[in-house]
């Protein structure tokens, strides 16, 4: 029987997930050589292209800002791997950019996540793995061979060990994220979970959010979401539940983009603890998505 | 007989070439709505997608810096045009990024221009038009339906009218660009042309460039090239020919990228006149490539 050989290839925005994956799986790791030309074009190079021939190649490249630059670097890495006669190309994209433009909100818009997944596939990707994609149904644009992994298990374990929440309730900022709250609640020991609804305070007139069914009074509140972008949603949630008598406010999210003045908003909201993953580099990236991705890779590669 | 209908669509980096094309061809023009999301992702929208159905769509998007962002915007525009059932999609890319990585200079490199042209094609482009691509043979990566247009004719006419060169000689900075010098020399009235070769001055030890066969003494020298990037090549050429007794030094190029301290280098080289095209916006963009592109569009679209 021929041994299946696999190489993990780290792209310029792998954020070290490549190294962690190689360590977990015990397989060969290669970092792409990277530079930027004076005009801003990206340059990548496989240090030993002859190693790629007839092997399964796992290219790790996360698509945080500058998103399009990282997208094109991924395409270069895929296309070159095919040129060097890689057997299968598995693109691991811990954070998938453009995943929130997942339908036509207005007539005339592209479905950007479709454009991106089609492009990654057409470049020569056989299997695609991402983490907590904004909407799971978007994977259909890649078709067969697309996998979504959740980081919520790892986030929940981290919160359990490091924060030890008392009388916890897990809250999603909206109905669409309830699946994340359910997962975290389960790992915390089947605790309560709910999602937040926008309401106007009848006395002050201010917008606030409240759990649909449950109450937060004297409880440690864990707010979970896939993305923190400008921080507005999470900050409003934290401020609201605090007013409603929450004891501690803990935030867990997969992708901490933290754009614009997100840090200021989070700081003003006086959140007791924030944890995110390494799909996007940030000061909150205390959890790695590598073990979750490794599980899927083991299935795909039968290793 | 059914009238063939065509719409010119301006992308966010069309640099007004779209408007000029529509005017020359006398056909409908649409500008894509554009914005940037707070996280840096690009957003485009067709104002009236129903107009696209069953029409030939010419999307104009130049790929100057930030190149990858403009690349992804082009892919969004192509993919959406296909969604809205455009008949044919013609991608007009006045400046093609990544065209200088046209072979593997080192083992393990991607052929980036191949990756890019494949990507543009796979997104749904039926015909592709660019201007003064760095190497014409790169078009093969798109395959059937790819066209390269030269701006050298328009540059020559502009120089003839605005500079009125006396006893001119046209010089290419290297042998590869000799084709451009020949074209410009022809339009100036079959004047002399040559290319420059690097030589070390035997007295000072400095590197300079000299025409391979001819002399520049007391002549107006016109240096022509496809791209001015960092400006080093053109500045060295200008300084060298000036030392060799050239009267005026005129520079004509298609794509004035002007990266880093290019402007400073060009200023120090005391060039008498610089002209470039509108494939890339710059203070030297005095010539438009629209008429040259329009000629090819007429052929393709039979209008």
pLDDT tens track for B36-78: 999 999 999 999 999 999 999 999 999 999 999 999 999 999 9
What is the tens place of the pLDDT at every residue in A62-76? 999 999 999 999 999
The tens digit of pLDDT for each residue in B96-154 reads 999 999 999 999 999 999 999 999 999 999 999 999 999 999 999 999 999 999 999 99
| Torsional sign, CA B146, B142, A38, B221 | negative
Cβ of B144: how many Cβ atoms within 10 Å?
9
Classified as helix, coil or strand, A114 is helix
B115 touches chain A (CB under 8 A): yes
pLDDT in tens, A242-282: 999 999 999 999 999 999 999 999 999 999 999 999 999 99
CB contact under 8 A, A112 and B83: no
Q: Which residue of chain B comes nearest to A112, CA vs CA? A: B76
**CB neighbour class for A228 (10 Å; exposed up to 12, middle 13-18, buried from 19):** buried
- Structure-block tokens of residue B183: 């074209």
Alpha-carbon gap, residue B15 to B281, rounded angstroms: 7
Q: Is the dihedral of CA A234, A239, A243, A249 positive or negative?
A: positive
Decide if pLDDT at A2 tops 70. no
**CA–CA distance, A112 with B72 (Å, rounded to integer):** 9
Q: Using pLDDT thresholds of 50, 70 and 90, give the confidence band for residue B1.
A: very low
Q: Determine whether B1 is exposed, middle or buried from the number of CB atoms within 10 Å of its CB (0-12, 13-18, 19+).
A: exposed
Residues A105-143 have pLDDT tens digits of 999 999 999 999 999 999 999 999 999 999 999 999 999
Confidence band, pLDDT 50/70/90 cuts, at residue B207: confident
Tokens of residue A195, six digits: 């999602």
End-to-end CA distance of chain A: 13
> Using CB atoms, which residue from A40, A79, A98 is nearest to B115?
A79
Query: Angle between the A112-122 and B112-122 helix axes, to the nearest 10 degrees?
Result: 130
Q: Which one-letter DSSP state was computed for residue A176?
A: G
Q: Which one of A12, A34, A104, A110 would you mutate to disrupt binding with B, by most B Cβ within 10 Å of its Cβ?
A: A110
Closest CA to B211 of B178, B252, B163, B253: B178
The verdict on B148 touching A (C-beta cutoff 8 Å) is no
Does residue B264 belong to the interface with chain A, where contact is any CB pair within 8 Å? no
**Partner A contacted by B280 (CB < 8 A):** no
Distance (Å, rounded) from C-alpha A79 to C-alpha A72? 10
As a dihedral over the C-alpha atoms of residue B8, residue B12, residue B13, residue B19, rounded to 10 degrees, the angle is 30
Nearest CA in chain B to A81: B110
Write the CB contacts of A105 (distance below 8 Å, at least 6 apart in sequence).
none
- Which residues of chain A make contact with B261, given a CB cutoff of 8 A? none
The answer to whether A195 touches A212, Cβ cutoff 8 Å, is: yes
Which residues of chain B make contact with A40, given a CB cutoff of 8 A?
A: 65-67, 259
**Cα A150 to Cα A278: distance, rounded to the nearest angstrom:** 13
Q: How far is CA A302 from the centre of its chain?
A: 24
Tokens 């485009």, residue located? B44
The closest CB to that of A45, out of B69, B76, B109, belongs to B109
CB contact under 8 A, B119 and A43: no
Residue of A49, A59, A68 to mutate, interface with B, max B Cβ within 10 Å: A68
Q: Using CB atoms, which residue from B38, B66, B80 is nearest to A110?
A: B80
Q: Can you tell me the distance from the alpha carbon of A130 to that of A279, in angstroms, rounded to the nearest whole number?
A: 9
A186, pLDDT greater than 50: yes
SS3 call for B23: helix
Question: In the predicted model, is pLDDT for residue A296 greater than 80?
Answer: yes
What distances in angstroms separate CA B189 from CA B150, B156, B158, B183, one per listed residue? Answer: 18, 10, 14, 10
Query: What residues 60-89 of chain B have any CB closer than 8 A to a CB of chain A?
Result: 65-69, 71-72, 75-77, 79-80, 83-84
* Element at B161 (helix H, strand E): helix B152-163
* Domains present along chain B, CATH in parentheses: 6-150+288-301 (3.40.50.2020), 152-278 (3.40.50.2020)
Other Cβ atoms less than 10 A from the Cβ of B283: the count is 10
Shortest CA distance from A114: residue in chain B: B79
> Hey, what are B215's tokens?
């002399």
- Report the distance separating Cα B137 and Cα B53, nearest Å: 34
For residues A81-98, average pLDDT: 98
Contacts of B202 (CB under 8 A, 6+ apart): none
Which contacts qualify for A202-208: CB closer than 8 Å, 24 or more apart? A207/A236, A208/A236, A208/A239, A208/A240, A208/A243
Taking the C-alpha atoms of residue B119 and residue B68, their distance in angstroms, rounded to an integer, is: 12
Would you please indicate which residues of B are annotated as catalytic (active-site) residues?
Answer: 198
CB pairs under 8 A between A and B: 146
Active site residues of A: 198
Cis peptide upstream of residue B274 (ω within 30 degrees of 0): no
B194 DSSP β-pair partners = B171
How far does the CA of residue B244 sit from the closest CA of chain A (Å)? Answer: 30
Query: What pLDDT score was predicted for residue B201?
Result: 77
* B98: chain A residues, CB-CB within 8 Å: 41
Nearest chain B alpha carbon to A32: B108
H or E element that contains A223: strand A221-228
The label of the residue with tokens 């959406």 reads B80
Using an 8 Å Cβ cutoff, are A293 and A130 in contact?
no
Chain B residues touching A115 at Cβ < 8 A: 72, 75-76, 79-80, 123
Task: For residues B165-192, give the mean pLDDT.
Answer: 97
Query: Using one digit for the tens of pLDDT, what is the confidence trace for A17-28?
Result: 999 999 999 999
B257 to chain A, closest Cα gap in Å: 7
Q: Which of A31, A115, A125 to probe the B interface (max B CBs under 10 A)?
A: A115
Q: What is the pLDDT of residue A203?
A: 85
Interface predicted TM-score (ipTM): 0.96
Q: Please name the residue of chain A whose CA is at the shortest distance from the CA of residue B99.
A: A41
């Amino acid at each position: 029987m021929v041994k299946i050989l696999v190489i993990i290839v780290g792209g310029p925005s792998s954020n070290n997930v490549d190294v962690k994956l190689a360590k977990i799986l015990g397989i060969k790791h290669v970092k792409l050589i990277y530079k930027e030309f004076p005009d801003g074009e990206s340059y990548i190079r496989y240090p030993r292209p002859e190693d790629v021939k007839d092997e399964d190649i796992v290219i790790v490249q996360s698509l945080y800002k500058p998103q399009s630059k990282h997208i094109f670097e991924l395409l270069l890495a895929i296309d070159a791997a095919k040129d060097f006669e890689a057997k299968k190309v598995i693109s691991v994209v811990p954070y998938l950019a453009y995943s929130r433009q997942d339908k036509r909100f207005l007539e005339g818009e592209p479905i950007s996540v479709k454009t991106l997944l089609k492009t990654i596939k057409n470049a020569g990707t056989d299997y695609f793995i991402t983490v907590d994609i904004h909407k799971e149904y978007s994977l259909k644009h890649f078709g067969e061979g697309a996998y979504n992994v959740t980081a919520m298990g790892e986030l929940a374990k981290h919160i359990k060990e490091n924060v030890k929440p008392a009388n916890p309730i897990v809250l999603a900022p909206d109905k669409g994220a309830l699946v994340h709250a359910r997962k975290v609640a389960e790992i915390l020991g089947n605790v309560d979970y709910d999602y937040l609804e926008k309401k106007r305070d009848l006395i002050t007139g201010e917008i606030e959010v409240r759990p649909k069914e449950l109450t937060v009074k004297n409880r440690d509140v864990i707010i979970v979401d896939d993305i923190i972008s400008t921080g507005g949603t999470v900050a409003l949630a934290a401020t609201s539940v605090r007013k409603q008598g929450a004891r501690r406010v803990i935030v867990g999210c997969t992708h901490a983009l933290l754009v614009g003045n997100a840090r200021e908003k989070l700081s003003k909201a006086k959140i007791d603890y924030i944890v995110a993953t390494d799909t996007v580099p940030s000061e909150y990236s205390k959890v790695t998505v590598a073990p979750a991705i490794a599980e899927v890779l083991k299935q795909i590669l039968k290793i």
